[in-house]
A and B are shown apart, each in its own frame.
Chain A
Amino acid sequence: MTTRTLAVVSAGLATPSSTRLLADRLAEATVAALRERGVEARTEVVELREHARDLADHLVTGFPNAALRPVLDAVAGADGLVAVTPIFSASYSGLFKTFVDVLDRDALDGTPALLGATAGTARHQLALDHAMRPLFAYLHAAVVPTAVFAAAEDWGAGGASHELGVRVDRAGAELAAAVAARPAAAGPADPFADVPDFTALLSR
C-alpha cells in the first residue's frame, strides 16, 4: 500500500515552540492511528519561521523562490494536513495567514485537515472556530470535527483526565480516518495537464 504523506505546518515563532510541540503531538497521534488501520504515513514538517523572508518576498514578487517552492508543493501534494498557529490579536498569526495567502487557490481542495492553536491563556480558544475554521472552509479543506487548542496551562494539566492528550488522540484518530478513506494524493496539480485544445476554447 502507498505510504501517505502528512504535511505538518507550524507557525510558532519561539524556539522551542509550544505551537511546534502541539503540531508534533497531533502528527504523532495521526500517524499512530493510521498505523492501527494498517496505513503507513510519513510527515513533512514545515516551520514557517524558517520561511518568513521567503514568504514576504513571495508577497512582493508574486512567485515562490527556490526555497519556498518545494514547501508549497509538499503541502499541496499531501494526503493530509496538520496546521497549527499561535493566536495573536484574537486570530491566527500574520505569518500563518501569509502562508495560506500564497498557496494556490485549489492547493487544499478536499484535503483532510486537522487544526490546532496555542496561546497563553484559554480565553483565546474560540479563535479556532471563528477564525481558523472559516479560513479552511474557504480553501475547501475537509476539516475534521475536533480542533485542538492548547493554552500554557494545558501543558501542566495532569490528573485523571489528561485532557489535552485525550483531545490530541481523538483529533488524530479523526484525521487518520479521513486520510485512510481517500485514495492516495496524486501530488501537486500540473498546470499544463488539462489545458483544453484551442478548438474547444473557440467554441465556448
Chain B
Amino acid sequence: MQFGVFSVSDITTDPTTGRTPSEAERLQAVLRIAEKTEEVGLDVFALGEHHNPPFFSSSPTTTLGYLAGRTQRLQLSTATTLITTNDPVKIAEDYAMLQHLAGGRVDLTLGRGNTGPVYPWFGQDIRQGIPLAVENYALLRRLWDSDVVDWEGRFRTPLQGFTATPRPLDGVAPFVWHGSIRSPEIAEQAAYYGDGFFHNHIFWPADHTRRMVDFYRRRFEHHGHGAADQAIVGLGGQVFIRKNSQDAVREFRPYFDEAPVYGHGPSLEDFSRETPLTVGSPQEVIDRTLGFRDYVGDYQRQLFLVDHAGLPLKTVLEQLDILGEEVVPVLRREFAALKPAHVPDAPTHETLVAARDAQQGVAA
C-alpha cells in the first residue's frame, strides 16, 4: 500500500500569528514538504492545480519536474489535474515529459474542478463538466496509446495525423486515477477504463465515500477488469498529530476554526465525528485510518492532507516526522497483514510495463 501527502497549495494566513506567507515562501515550503515526504519514508507526493488566488499551483508539472530532479524514490502525482479546462493535448504532452524526467515515477489524478469562473476563463462551460471530462479523457487516452491520432469531438479543434510527443516512457502511459467527491459518472468512467478511483474523503461523511467506492468497485467488475475487490482505490484523509491527544486538539483548533473550507461552521469535535478528520495521538490516527478499510475494502493508496489552513512549515515538517516514524510503519504492517493475496498493489511504471510485456507475450 502506498502512503503519502497531498497539498492543495493554498496560501492562508496563520490564524495564531496573523502572518500570511508570500507566494514565493509558500512555494518553497511545498518543495521542502515534498522532499521531506521522501526523507521520512512515505511513497507519494501529490499537488493540486488551481487558477485563482489564494492558490499558487497553476502548473503542477513544473513543480513536479523540479521535484523529480530532487528526489529518488518518491512517486509524483496530482490532486487534481483539471481534465475539463486543460487541453487534453497539453496534458498528454506535459505528463509524458514529466514521466520521462522522473524515470516513470509519475501518475495523475484527474478532476473536474469546482471553481465556476475557471471554466469561462479557459473558454469552457461548467454545465458541460461531465461531457468535458468524458470527451477530453477519451482523447487523452488516444494520444498516449496511439502514435498517430485522427480525432474530431465537440470541445476542441479536430486533429489529423497528430502525434503527441514525447511518446510515453517505454510506450506505457502514466497510471490515471479519477477523483470525484459526488459524481457517480466519474466513478463509472474510472471503472470503464480500469483506472483508479480516488475519493477526497475529507469534506464529506464516510458513508458517502463508502457508496461512491462501492459503486466504482461493482462497475469495475461489470466492465471486466477483475473482481470488485481488485479495483484500485485511493483515499484522502486529514490528520493532525501530537504525542498527546489533548495537545493535538489544542494546537489544531484555531486552524480548524478559521480553515477556508469548513471554518466558522461545525466544531472540531462535530466535524471529526461527521468526517474522517482525525486530530489526536499517533495511535488514534492509526486506529481511525485502519477503520477506513472497514467501509472501502482493501485499498491501494492513502494520502494525508497536512499543510493547509495556514499551518507553518515547521509544524508541517513535524507532522511528517510523526507520520514517518510512528504512524505509517504501523499502518503498512497492519494493512499488509489484512490484505488478501489476490488484491493488487497500486500500479507503478514497472508493473504497468511488465503487464504490457506479459500481454504482448500472450499475443505473440
| Interface residues in chain A, defined as those with a beta carbon under 8 Å from any beta carbon in chain B | 56-57, 59-63, 65-66, 191-192, 195-199, 201-202, 204
Whether the Cβ atoms of A63 and B264 lie closer than 8 Å is no
Given contacts A62-B204, A198-B188, 12 further A-B contacts (CB under 8 A): A60-B265, A61-B266, A63-B204, A63-B208, A191-B182, A195-B184, A196-B188, A198-B189, A198-B192, A199-B192, A201-B188, A204-B131
| Interface residues in chain B, defined as those with a beta carbon under 8 Å from any beta carbon in chain A | 130-131, 134, 138, 182, 184-185, 188-189, 191-192, 203-205, 208, 211, 215, 223, 261-266, 270-271, 273-274
Contacts A198-B192, A201-B130; A65 near B266 (Cβ below 8 A): yes
Bound Cα distance from A195 to B131, whole angstroms: 14
Bound Cα distance from A196 to B183, whole angstroms: 12
The DSSP consensus for interface residues of chain B is: helix
Residues in A with CB closer than 8 Å to B211 are: 192
Contacts A65-B274, A201-B130, A202-B138; A56 near B265 (Cβ below 8 A): yes
Residues in B with CB closer than 8 Å to A56 are: 265
Give the residue of A59, A66, A192 whose beta carbon is less than 8 angstroms from that of B184.
A192
Whether the Cβ atoms of A201 and B184 lie closer than 8 Å is no
| A123: min CB distance to chain B, Å | 36
Bound Cα distance from A56 to B267, whole angstroms: 12
Contacts A65-B274, A198-B191; A60 near B264 (Cβ below 8 A): yes
Whether the Cβ atoms of B274 and A62 lie closer than 8 Å is no
Whether the Cβ atoms of A60 and B130 lie closer than 8 Å is no
Whether the Cβ atoms of B266 and A201 lie closer than 8 Å is no
Whether the Cβ atoms of A63 and B184 lie closer than 8 Å is no
Question: Which residue among B130, B203, B211, B270 has the maximum number of chain A CB atoms within 10 Å of its CB?
Answer: B270
| B113: min CB distance to chain A, Å | 16
Residues in A with CB closer than 8 Å to B271 are: 61
Bound Cα distance from A189 to B97, whole angstroms: 45
Give the residue of B134, B182, B185, B273 whose beta carbon is less than 8 angstroms from that of A195.
B185
Q: List 29 A-B contacts (CB under 8 A).
A: A57-B266, A60-B263, A60-B265, A60-B266, A61-B203, A61-B261, A61-B265, A61-B266, A63-B204, A63-B205, A63-B274, A65-B270, A66-B205, A66-B273, A66-B274, A191-B184, A192-B184, A192-B211, A195-B184, A195-B188, A196-B185, A197-B188, A198-B134, A198-B223, A201-B134, A201-B185, A201-B188, A204-B131, A204-B134
Bound Cα distance from A59 to B271, whole angstroms: 14
Whether the Cβ atoms of B130 and A57 lie closer than 8 Å is no
Whether the Cβ atoms of B189 and A192 lie closer than 8 Å is no
Question: Which chain B residue lies CB-closest to A63?
Answer: B204
| B206: min CB distance to chain A, Å | 11
Whether the Cβ atoms of B262 and A202 lie closer than 8 Å is no
Bound Cα distance from A198 to B191, whole angstroms: 9
| B142: min CB distance to chain A, Å | 12
Residues in A with CB closer than 8 Å to B203 are: 61-63
Bound Cα distance from A59 to B239, whole angstroms: 23
Bound Cα distance from A73 to B11, whole angstroms: 38
Bound Cα distance from A35 to B148, whole angstroms: 71
Residues in A with CB closer than 8 Å to B266 are: 57, 60-61, 65
| B114: min CB distance to chain A, Å | 10
Residues in B with CB closer than 8 Å to A62 are: 203-204
Residues in B with CB closer than 8 Å to A191 are: 182, 184
Bound Cα distance from A143 to B74, whole angstroms: 60
Whether the Cβ atoms of B262 and A61 lie closer than 8 Å is yes
Question: Which chain B residue lies CB-closest to A194?
Answer: B184
Residues in B with CB closer than 8 Å to A198 are: 134, 188-189, 191-192, 223
| B305: min CB distance to chain A, Å | 15
